[in-house]
Amino acid sequence: MKLKMTKRIFCLLSCLLVCALLSCTAFAGEAAWSLSYDEETLTYGEITFTLYEPYFPLRVVGDVVYCYNYVLNDYRSVDTNAEHDPTYADIYDVIYTTERGREALDRLMEGEADSYMLTSKYDASAPISRELVNYVFLAGTNGRETRTFDVEDLEDALYYTLLGVDEYGYYGCAYGAVYLVEGHLYYVHYMDLGNQYFDAYGNFSYRRGTVEAVRLTKDQRLSLKNTEGEMIYRPLEYVTMEHSGGIGIQGTVDSSSRSAFTTGMVVFGFLIPAPLLMVGLLFPRSAKRGYAKYWYVLAGIAALWMLLSVLLMVIVL
């Protein structure tokens, strides 16, 4: 009789343990970062990113970068462009994109930007309208004054870079630059130049060669004044995403998952074992119940279970 009762108690507690662990993994979020052996594919839960190698350098122009620190098996970190359903992922400047992100970046590489920014030599920036870009920078050379420069003469000149920005507002690509030379502004459109004008990293090179630049008219220069006045330095905000390593949980715990996990742990970790704790402490005082030692064992197990629940919540949250 005693043996049967002990088996039933341990069977019940085992079931409760399994339920709580299932609730822990389900509610805490099962998404985990994984990089393929050939490092061509990166996955996060059901989201798949593939390696993207741009032929023009890309820079982050978004306001926020979401950082998943040390989430890969080799303890490398992953940065993304969004907290939920990201389009881009970055592993130490190596870019991975979803399919829709690849299409967006391909359009950006082909000169089909969704929006534009003007940045200074010292990284101050401001948005610039498409109409102004078309009027000042993309009007072509027909009927406009041009001048041929040795690229070395442009290296030390004050300049602004025209950035095309992808449709998600995260990556920017240098389409050209406007240089201040001898009191006049001249624009060089990078997208029309051959590979010999760029260094190994895809940046415009000032080592050797000549380049043709278009001189901006007085009206075009005046049109840029407002944009120049709006240029400010915008530091990136880095948001560290929470993750847990242990008990098979890895990834983020967003607000809804955190709330659901907390609710599950309160039910399975405290409300269910609490009656068992009370029974285990009260029944040994009853002469009718007997088996005081077993009731105290039940109380001890229930108390241990509640303690483990507290530890799980501390680890995950």
Residue 253, pLDDT score: 44
The pTM of the whole model exceeds 0.75 = no
Band (260; pLDDT cuts 50, 70, 90): low
Among residues of the chain, what percentage have pLDDT more than 70? 76
34 has a pLDDT exceeding 80: yes
Residue 121, pLDDT score: 82
Residue 139, pLDDT score: 73
16 has a pLDDT exceeding 70: no
Q: What is the pLDDT of residues 96-150, one digit of tens each?
A: 999 999 999 999 999 999 999 999 988 899 999 999 999 888 876 666 789 999 9
Q: Which range is most confident: 69-73, 77-81, 141-145, 284-288? A: 77-81
Residue 5, pLDDT score: 52
Residue 140, pLDDT score: 67
Q: Three-state SS string across the chain, please?
A: CHHHHHHHHHHHHHHHHHHHHHHHHHHCCCCCEEECCCCCEEEECCEEEEEECCCCCEEECCCEEEEECCCCCCCCCEEECCCCCCCEEEECCEEEECHHHHHHHHHHHCCCCCEEEEEECCCEEEEECHHHHHHHCCCCCCCCCEEEEEHHHHCCCEEEEEEEECCCCCEEEEEEEEEEECCEEEEEEHHHCCHHHECCCCCECCCCCEEEEEECCHHHHHHCHHHHHHCEECCCEEEECCCCCCCCCCCCCCHHHHHHHHHHHHHHHHHCHHHHHHHHHHHHHCCCCCCHHHHHHHHHHHHHHHHHHHHHHHHHC
